[in-house]
Amino acid sequence: MTNYDYDLFVIGAGSGGVRAARMAAGLGVRVAIAENRYLGGTCVNVGCVPKKLFVYASHFHEDFAAAKGFGWTTGEPQFDWAHLRAQKNQEIERLQGIYGNLLGNSGVTLYEGQASLADAHTVKIGGQQFSCERILVATGGWPAIPDMPGKEHIVSSNEMFALETLPNRILIVGGGYIAVEFAGIMHGLGVETTLCYRGDKVLRGFDEDIRDFVVQEMRKKGITILLNTPIKAIAKMPNGLIAETEEGGELQADLVLYATGRSPNTAGLGLEELGAELGESGAIKVNESYQTNIPSIYALGDVTHRINLTPVATAEAMALVNGLYTETPTPVDYDNIPTAVFCQPNVGTVGLTEAEARKRFGDIAVFKSVFTPMKHTLSGLGEKTLMKMIVQRSTDKVLGIHMVGADAGEIIQGMAVAIRAGATKAIFDSTIGIHPTAAEEFVTMRKPVDG
């Protein structure tokens, strides 16, 4: 037993922080956790969970339209934003309660308030101070909005989940996953939607075919997408907002959402004053054991600005706790981490892009299929699905799998298991498909598109 108040003090009760706190407490470690906003962090409150609920809600207009092709006669659908928001809030409150119970039942002491570091072994919260053998910073990220004229008229993704009313017209600035997801959500809920991005393609870092196909399908649905169009100012007018482009054009909207990235949430923690090494964006620099240059201080999750995904943060939390308090370390393998983008249609991806594979291995074969899913042969909606597989010719090993289409995330989760197990193309080819499904396309692609 140490002379410290706590063996481990966690700052931030998001997915990573809560997992670390609970696991450590279960091993007999004396743990406290501090949170100044809401239990569950970004994912539960203003991220993954409410976003996916909104995606479900926004897709119903297409389901109603598709029903006619299958013989259904439907009335004119009516959407109630206030009801959806209230339902979402109720679910978030339920999840917050679960997080609180999990912490309490694990024996973790919860403090509500802004925590900061007084020194390498001391955490301050209000007028209280606590000595700690180790401190873990898991404060996540925060929306980054650039300084520009009219910034005060801009909302971030945080505010989108609590709008009092839906706008008639929205301008979404950005080209990452948050931007394209909200474009689908707003369009699906009946909002006239324009997505404006300064780059030439959305979803930087994804496979090039995926990037092109997503834009194609979003435009088919009626979303206006403006590429190579930087915004330099926002002005409030009597009839709404005006966004001025760098080329002198004007875009009108009732609401302007900036989804231009997220920054590590390190402001006010006192890290710089202690000499902790931070990156340019404020990201906390850590070694392979999630330890900063100050030996008693650790960090994980989005605040380190590496792979900003909720399951990665929870995996890092388990790796940290096992490394510190058990004899069986469980390091995180950062290769072949699957991910999804819940735009419409969805994106699911795991492994290397075609460009990455060509650069790393050279001898690759590319298999690709674009088709009309069975549902849409009768729906009349015209939505297409793209599936793509990258294979190393010399080893026959599958290096990457990418998909744009309904339930892509659900399908790619299973594909990720296969890739991590080292599956070859021959194994895929010898696997009998489930018919009729879209997923069976991955085991029936025989001829590479590059010969």
Contact 25, 106 (CB under 8 A): yes
Asked if 207 and 388 touch (Cβ cutoff 8 Å), the reply is yes
Phi/psi at 399 (5° precision): -100, -25
CB of 282 within 8 A of CB of 264? Answer: yes
CA 271/CA 301 separation, integer angstroms? 16
- CA torsion sign for 159, 160, 163, 165 is positive
Enumerate the H helices of 28-80 as residue ranges. Answer: 41-46, 48-67
Name every residue whose Cβ is closer than 8 Å to that of residue 193 and which is 6 or more positions away in sequence.
169, 170, 172, 183, 186, 187, 222, 223, 224
**Any catalytic annotation for residue 435?**
yes
The alpha carbon of residue 283 and the mean position of all alpha carbons in its chain are separated, in whole angstroms, by: 17
**Considering Cα of 395, then 354, then 405, then 381, what sign does the dihedral take?**
negative
Residue with tokens 């973790």: 108
Distance (Å, rounded) from C-alpha 47 to C-alpha 310? 10
Which residues are the active-site residues? 435
